[in-house]
Chains A and B, each alone.
Chain A
Amino acid sequence: MTFSIQPVDRHTPGYPRFAEVEDWQGLLQCSSRKVFCPRTLWFAGLLGTALLLPTAVHAAPLHSQNPKALQIAEAELTQAMTGGYWAKAATLDKQLLIPGNPQVTVPKIPISFGNSYTGLIDANRTKKVTRELFAAFGVDLLPDHPLSHKGISFTADGWDPNKRVGFELLETPTDTTDVTTQEFERMKREIAADQMTIFVVPHSTFPVMDNDAEPATQAYLQSVLDYLDWLKAQGRL
C-alpha cells in the first residue's frame, strides 16, 4: 500500500449547503413543477404535507414566572434562531419522560423519507445555559459534581449541595460520567418517590435536523423553565 493520510488544505465545492440558501423557496418553486406532475403537487397540498411550502405553526413563545430566567432563555434561543426550514416545520409537544417530574417539551420534526435526525443540541452550551437558568431561580449549581445516591453514582452536570437540587443531561453512552441504563431506571424510581430532586432528560430527546437547532433549543429551554417554575410553585426553591 503506497497511500498516506494527506489533509486537503483548501477545497471549495462550488454550490451552497442547504442552510446557506437564503431564498430556498424561490430556488425550489422554479423547478418543482418541472420535476413533479401537477397532480402530485395537488395531492401533496391536499394532504397538507406542508413540506413544499411550509406553513406549519411556529413554536409558541417561551414562558416562565421568572422574568430573569425568561430573559436568559430568550437570549439563548435568539442565538439558535436560523430562520431555517425546520424551525418553521417543527411543532412542540409535551411528554412525561420521568414520572414525578413535570412533562418535558419535545420537538416534533417532520423527517423526510430516507433521512433521520442528523444531530443533537450542543451539550456544552446546553449545560451552561441550564446553570444560568437555575441561578436565576437562586440555585447555585456546581458543575460536574460527583453524586452518589442509593447505588446511583454519576457526575451531575449541575448540583447544589445545599438545596440538593440539580440537573443531568443524559448523554449515555458517549459520556462515561453519566448514569448507566440500569442506574437511570433506579433514578426514575427515586424521583417518582420524591427521594431525588433533579431535572434529568436524555440528550437524544432534542434532535437537530440540518444544523437547525431552533426547535430543539426552544423545547429544551421551555422544559427547564417549566421544571424550575414547578419547583418554585411547590416551595422547594
Chain B
Amino acid sequence: MQLTLHGTRACNLRCSYCYYQHFPVGRMTQEHALAAASLALDRCPQEPLAVTWFGGEPLLCKELIRTSTPKIRAMAEQRGQAATFKIPTNGHLLDAEFLAFCEVNSVFISLSIDGAEGNNRGRINRRGQAAWAPSLAALRLLAKHATSFATYSVVTPDNVGQLASGIRFLHAEGARLLILALDHDSPWNESHLDQLAGQYQELAEFWSDEMRAGRPFYLSPFDAKIEAHTRPSGSCSAGINQLSVAPDGTLFPCVQFLDHPEFAIGHVQDGLDDALVRSRFGQVHSDHSGSCGGCAIRGRCGRDCACVRFQSTEDIHALSALVCAHERLLMPIADRAAAALFQDRVPHFIQRHYNPAYHPLHAIETLLGLR
C-alpha cells in the first residue's frame, strides 16, 4: 500500500511546472497522520506500507515527520507489516541534523533537482528568483552523508536540450538513482521530441558504458521501461492500494488530485468511500484496451496512469497523445541498449533485471559500505 501524507501544501518554491496551483499553509496533525496509517494498514493487511511524506514542501513539517515516523513504523510492526518511508524534497530546508534523523530512521530522500544550473530555470522561489544554490548544497550534503538517495528531475521543453549534460552533472556530483519525469502539461512539439530522442540516445550510451564498466546507476527512463518488460507490473492502482492524504485528512486516490475536491474519496476519520472510488476510478482500473488495441508496446506504456492522463488531458479517462509519442520514442532506445547488454551478458545488467535478490543484496552491500 502506497500512502502519501501531505504534511502541508505550502511550499517555499514556485516551480513553473508544478501541477499544484494552490499552496495553502495548513498543516496535518499527528492524529490525522496516524489515522491515515492505520486506515492504510487495515486496508492492505498482507502488504508492506510505503509511506511518502509529501507536500508542498514536506520539510516545512519536520517536526511532524520526526514524531510520526517512528510511531507509524511501530504501528506497522505491531501488525506484522513492514513500513518504508520516503521524502521527496526540494532540499532547501535539508540540514545535517535532519539528514541524520533520516539515516537513523531509514527514511529515504529524493531530491527534486533538474540537473545542472541551466536545467533548473523552472525552479524559482516565491519572489521569482533562481533557486539553484540551496538545491546544489542539498545535493552535495546528500552525496556526502546519505547512505542512498535519489534525484528527481523534470524534463520540460525549456530544458530538454540540456538533459544529457544535466544528468551527467548529477551523476558526477554523486547521484546514482536518477528519476526523470516529463512535464506533461507543457506545450511540447515535434522539435522538442526530436531533441529528447537525441538526448535519450546520448544518455543510453552513457548508462550502458557505465554498466559495462561495472559502475551501474539507475536511470528511470531506461531501467523502468526494461523492468516493465522483464517483470511486467500492474496498471493504475489509484484509490485501491494507493492513497494520498491532504493536510486536513481528506483522502484522494493520488497526489495529482489535491487541487480538485471533486476527486476526494473519503476522510481519515470516516474511512474510504468505496462507492466513490468505483464511480470515479472504476473505469480507469478496468480500461486496458481503448484505442490502443493491438499496440505492441501497450503493456509497458504509461497510458494507464490516471495521474498522467489527468495532467496531460485534464481527463482521467482520456489517453494522452504526448504520452503515446513519448513511449514510441523511448521504447526502442531503451530496448536497443538493453538487448545489447543482455546479448553480451553484462553482469550488472543481468543481475539487476533478472535476479530477484538483487535489491536486498545491493542494500546489504550499501549498508556494509562495500559500494
User: Which chain A residues have a beta carbon within 8 Å of chain B's beta carbons?
Assistant: 1-11, 13-18, 21, 24, 27-28, 30-32, 34-37, 39-41, 43-44, 49, 51-52, 85, 89, 106, 111-119, 172-174, 176, 180-181, 204-205, 207, 210-211
User: Is A8 within 8 A of B364, CB to CB?
Assistant: no
| B320-371 interface with A by 8 A CB criterion | 321-322, 324-325, 328, 331-332, 335-336, 338-339, 341-343, 345, 347-348, 350-351, 353-361, 363-365, 368, 370
Assuming the A-B contacts A28-B354, A37-B365, A173-B277, are A112 and B295 also in contact, with contact meaning beta carbons closer than 8 angstroms in the complex?
no
B273 to chain A, nearest CB (A): 9
User: Is B368 within 8 A of A17, CB to CB?
Assistant: no
How far, in whole Å, are A197 and B277 apart by their CA atoms in the complex? 29
How far, in whole Å, are A5 and B358 apart by their CA atoms in the complex? 36
- Dominant secondary structure at the B interface: helix
| B247-300 interface with A by 8 A CB criterion | 271-272, 274-275, 277-278, 282, 285-286, 291-298
Query: Who on chain A is nearest to B290 by CB?
Result: A5
Assuming the A-B contacts A11-B331, A13-B335, A119-B234, are A5 and B319 also in contact, with contact meaning beta carbons closer than 8 angstroms in the complex?
yes
Known A-B contacts: A13-B338, A15-B226, A15-B341. Give 15 more (CB < 8 A): A3-B190, A3-B321, A8-B297, A11-B335, A15-B342, A24-B354, A27-B345, A28-B350, A28-B354, A30-B347, A44-B360, A52-B355, A52-B357, A106-B46, A172-B274
How far, in whole Å, are A121 and B355 apart by their CA atoms in the complex? 23
**Number of residue pairs spanning A and B whose beta carbons lie under 8 angstroms apart:** 178
- Dominant secondary structure at the A interface: loop
B44 to chain A, nearest CB (A): 7
Best-buried of A4, A24, A35, A113 by chain B (most CB within 10 Å) = A35
Query: Who on chain A is nearest to B191 by CB?
Result: A2
Q: What residues of chain B lie closer than 8 Å to A15, measured between beta carbons?
A: 226, 229-230, 335, 338-339, 341-343
A209 to chain B, nearest CB (A): 9
Assuming the A-B contacts A1-B322, A17-B229, A37-B365, are A113 and B359 also in contact, with contact meaning beta carbons closer than 8 angstroms in the complex?
yes
Q: What residues of chain B lie closer than 8 Å to A27, measured between beta carbons?
A: 345, 350, 354
Query: Who on chain B is nearest to A107 by CB?
Result: B46
Query: Who on chain A is nearest to B2 by CB?
Result: A116
How far, in whole Å, are A44 and B357 apart by their CA atoms in the complex? 10
B152 to chain A, nearest CB (A): 16
User: Is A207 within 8 A of B46, CB to CB?
Assistant: yes
CB-CB nearest 10 A-B residue pairs: A14-B339, A51-B357, A31-B347, A7-B295, A15-B342, A3-B321, A113-B359, A11-B296, A34-B347, A3-B325
Q: What residues of chain A lie closer than 8 Å to B115, measured between beta carbons?
A: none
B231 on the interface (CB 8 Å rule)? Answer: yes
Q: What residues of chain A lie closer than 8 Å to B75, measured between beta carbons?
A: none
User: Is A28 within 8 A of B351, CB to CB?
Assistant: yes
B67 on the interface (CB 8 Å rule)? Answer: no
User: Is B345 within 8 A of A173, CB to CB?
Assistant: no
Q: What residues of chain B lie closer than 8 Å to A204, measured between beta carbons?
A: 44, 46
Q: What residues of chain A lie closer than 8 Å to B298, measured between beta carbons?
A: 7
B56 on the interface (CB 8 Å rule)? Answer: no
How far, in whole Å, are A16 and B271 apart by their CA atoms in the complex? 43
How far, in whole Å, are A31 and B351 apart by their CA atoms in the complex? 7
User: Is A51 within 8 A of B295, CB to CB?
Assistant: no
User: Is B364 within 8 A of A44, CB to CB?
Assistant: yes
